[in-house]
Amino acid sequence: MKIAIIGVGGVGGYFGGKLAMHYANNKDVDVTFIARGKHLKEIQNNGLKVITQQGTFIAKPDKAIDNPVSGSIFDLIIFCVKSYDLEDSAKLFKNCVNEQTVAITVLNGVNNTERLKRVLLDAQILNGCVYISAFVKEPGIVCQAGGTCKFFFGSDTEKKNYIKIEQVLKDAGIAAEYRKDIKEIVWEKYLFVSPLASATSFYQKTFGEIMEDEQCKNLLQGLLKETEGVAKFQKVNLPKDIFQKSLDKIALFPYDTKSSLQMDFEKKKNTELDIFAGYIVNFAKEHELDVPVHEKVYNVLSGKAK
């Protein structure tokens, strides 16, 4: 099995690192990292150092390159890039897939499979969702900061059995689970991540500060309700207590926690605003839904976005 990990940052580095370490020198599994810049050079020269809560290890993939070789067909591609890089990353693989290729996206957002399908016409596209906090500490070093490290993937439409892929991931020590209700799993995470990312970025406040300020909390709750409304419009089967469940999750995080979107705004980097508030606003316009809180937040943040 030929596996490619594209986006060897915190998420891709952790899961890709697990795969590369376990299948080192395995003739049946070939692991390729697609990375860039100094990070790539460090991996090529010294391997990828992965610091986890269970210990530290060095992962040396079979290949570490910046561009897949045209005509080299992969059996499995795991997309771990930022949302704004998804289409460009997928285009790198247009000549590296066939009808047997499985591509899994574990990005934030709820419409990634549709976006991938428009680029990789021949591949089998599966949705994914991971629960991990990880980051690139410095070139060649990835650090897991927290999270359960669970890796959910699946499809609501594909009728094939993907248990073999699940086993390949599990054998590498990844807490992987193939699910046919992946849409609900992805949306459940999105209902927590998206409103909180938008609220923390709008007010430039931490999780704890948002929850202790009545005005901030009201805006967060408004974003939550509107996001839940869009999910219901799309007939996503979510738990009845999803609103309170999403709010309760915030209490599990340290007071000073910031969302990744908020930190990207602070650092004046590219942001994933379009998959959070932007997605809700655009979907609502297309289907004539009312999302005034999202419109307010998006109008302000889009003026600050890089």
- Which tens digit of pLDDT belongs to each residue from 24-80? 999 999 999 999 999 999 999 999 999 999 999 999 999 999 999 888 999 999 999
H runs (alpha helix) in 92-181: 112-117, 163-171
227: three-class secondary structure by DSSP: helix
Boundaries of every domain in the chain: 2-180, 184-302
The correct answer on CATH 3.40.50.2300 for the domain covering 2-180 is no
Kindly state the helix (H) or strand (E) to which residue 14 belongs, with its residue range: helix 10-22
Residue 132 to residue 107: CA distance in whole angstroms: 12
Write phi, then psi, for 57 (nearest 5 degrees): -145, 165
Per-residue pLDDT at 146: 86
pLDDT in tens, the chain (306 residues): 999 999 999 999 999 999 999 999 999 999 999 999 999 999 999 999 999 999 999 999 999 999 998 889 999 999 999 999 999 999 999 999 999 999 999 999 999 999 999 999 999 999 999 999 899 999 999 999 888 999 999 997 777 889 999 999 999 999 999 999 999 999 999 999 999 999 999 999 999 999 999 999 999 999 999 999 999 999 999 999 999 999 998 888 889 999 999 999 999 999 999 999 999 999 999 999 999 999 999 999 999 876
Write phi, then psi, for 93 (nearest 5 degrees): -105, 5
Residue 268 to residue 69: CA distance in whole angstroms: 33
Confirm if 272 and 84 have CB atoms less than 8 A apart.
yes
Confirm if 104 and 113 have CB atoms less than 8 A apart.
no
Tokens 């680029």 locate to 119
CA 213, 217, 219, 223: dihedral to nearest 10 degrees?
160
Per-residue pLDDT at 252: 85
| DSSP assignment of 257-300 | ---HHHHHHHTT----GGGTHHHHHHHHHHTT---HHHHHHHHH
* Buried b / exposed e along 51-67 (16+ C-beta atoms within 10 A): bbeeeebebbbbbbeee
Residue 117 to residue 115: CA distance in whole angstroms: 6
Per-residue pLDDT at 305: 76
- Which tens digit of pLDDT belongs to each residue from 77-90? 999 999 999 999 99
Per-residue pLDDT at 306: 63
Kindly state the helix (H) or strand (E) to which residue 215 belongs, with its residue range: helix 214-233
Cα–Cα separations (whole angstroms), residue 138 to 39, 49, 50, 58, 80: 8, 10, 11, 14, 18
* 184-302 CATH choice from 3.40.50.12240, 3.40.640.10, 1.20.1110.10, 1.10.1040.10: 1.10.1040.10
